[in-house]
């Protein structure tokens, strides 16, 4: 099973996202930054996709040659996201020749440092690269892969025989796609493993009665669904954290909660008490 997506940047200007949705696309991965700063179309694309209820991801082409530079790039991405929802996660774009010259081991060190920063804030973070890079440079990371592979003579048409078939999360199959709502060429994608899930249509009622009540991870009760945990997870999803709304307070819920607390100036303890609860409500209002 797959859905149709695309990836865009300021090169595509300001797409007409209503037409793109009508054409059957489920969302887009948006360039968030380039070497000069925030992508000129990022804010427009983020807002417009949200208005059309299209799933959004963010990507950044990396120029990092050290782990320290990788961390700095990732921190810039987090500052631009500013705690906002991003349904398809953040993608590290690895394709710069100067990185490849460093060798596979160093590239993987850079990638791990980059992804660790993003994940520590509660966001999914994975890797975009072409098939050659996957096989010879950066394959084997603890990540999902979005793989680029085009026909030799790319005409914008999906050629099924070129599907990478390496368990990829997504396949970018052309850079010459044409869709209603965009003037000129655009990258088109088949999206597999990270198909966005739809959160509950309505916010579960806040079950808190006791203002001092504390929610936290407990390995002895993690498998027991609870309405108060479901409320917490829903609010975290509304703030952009990719977790299931299943009522089970496990490690992923705790990680997302810590990310929310860090981005809102709260004590980062992974526990949801009165102050964190108030911040969640304020963030969702």
pLDDT for res 200: 43
Instruction: Taking each helix axis as running N to C, give the angle between helix 274-283 and helix 251-263, from 0 to 180 degrees, rounded to the nearest 10.
Output: 70
Instruction: Say which CATH class 199-285 falls into.
Output: mainly alpha
Does position 209 have pLDDT exceeding 80, yes or no? no
- Outline where 8-94 has alpha helix (H): 17-22, 42-51, 67-81
pLDDT for res 198: 39
Does position 175 have pLDDT exceeding 60, yes or no? yes
Taking all residues of the chain, what is their mean pLDDT, rounded to a whole number? 89
pLDDT above 90 covers what percent of the chain?
A: 65
Instruction: Say which CATH class 3-191 falls into.
Output: alpha beta
Between 203 and 65, whose confidence is greater? 65
Residues in Cβ contact with 9 at an 8 Å cutoff, skipping those fewer than 6 apart: 30, 31, 34, 39, 41
Tell me the per-residue pLDDT of 133-147, one tens digit each, with 9 for 90 and over: 999 999 999 999 999
pLDDT for res 225: 65
Does position 203 have pLDDT exceeding 80, yes or no? no
Tell me the per-residue pLDDT of 246-256, one tens digit each, with 9 for 90 and over: 778 888 899 99
Between the CA atoms of 272, 274, 280 and 281, what dihedral angle is there, to the nearest 10 degrees?
140
The Cβ of residue 151 has, within 10 Å, a number of other Cβ atoms equal to 15
pLDDT for res 195: 54
Does position 215 have pLDDT exceeding 70, yes or no? yes
Rg (CA), the chain: 20
Helix (H, G, I), strand (E, B) or coil at 249: coil
Mean pLDDT to the nearest integer, 204-226: 65
Q: Give the pair of three-digit tokens for residue 73.
A: 């790039």
Extents of the domains making up the chain:
3-191, 199-285
Which residue's entry shows tokens 């991405």?
77
Does position 105 have pLDDT exceeding 60, yes or no? yes
CA 10 – CA 146 distance, rounded (Å): 21
CA 109 – CA 138 distance, rounded (Å): 10
Helix (H, G, I), strand (E, B) or coil at 233: helix
pLDDT for res 2: 80
pLDDT for res 199: 46
Tell me the per-residue pLDDT of 29-47, one tens digit each, with 9 for 90 and over: 999 999 899 999 999 999 9
CA 185 – CA 175 distance, rounded (Å): 7
């Amino acid at each position: 099973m797959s859905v149709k997506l695309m990836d865009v940047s300021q090169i595509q200007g300001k797409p007409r996202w209503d037409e793109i949705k009508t054409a059957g696309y489920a969302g887009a991965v948006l360039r968030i930054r380039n070497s000069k700063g925030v992508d000129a179309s990022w804010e427009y694309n983020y807002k417009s996709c949200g208005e059309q209820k299209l799933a959004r991801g963010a990507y950044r082409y990396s120029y990092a040659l050290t782990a320290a530079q990788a961390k700095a790039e990732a921190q810039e991405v987090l500052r631009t996201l500013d705690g906002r929802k991003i349904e398809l996660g953040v993608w590290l774009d690895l394709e710069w020749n100067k990185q490849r010259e460093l060798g596979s081991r160093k590239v993987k060190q850079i990638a791990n440092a980059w992804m660790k920063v993003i994940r520590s804030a509660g966001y999914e973070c994975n890797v975009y690269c072409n098939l050659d890079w996957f096989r010879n440079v950066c394959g084997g990371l603890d990540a999902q892969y979005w793989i680029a592979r085009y026909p030799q003579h790319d005409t914008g048409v999906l050629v099924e025989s070129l599907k990478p078939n390496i368990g990829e999360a997504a396949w970018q199959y052309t850079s010459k796609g044409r869709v209603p709502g965009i003037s000129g060429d655009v990258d088109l994608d088949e999206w597999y493993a990270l198909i966005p899930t739809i959160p509950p249509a309505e916010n579960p009622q806040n079950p808190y009665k006791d203002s001092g009540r504390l929610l936290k991870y407990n390995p002895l009760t993690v498998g027991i669904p609870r309405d108060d945990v479901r409320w917490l997870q829903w609010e975290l999803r509304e703030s952009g954290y990719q977790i299931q709304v299943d009522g089970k307070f496990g490690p992923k819920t705790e990680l997302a909660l810590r990310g929310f607390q860090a981005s809102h100036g709260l004590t980062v303890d992974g526990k949801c008490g009165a102050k964190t609860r108030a911040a969640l409500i304020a963030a969702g209002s």
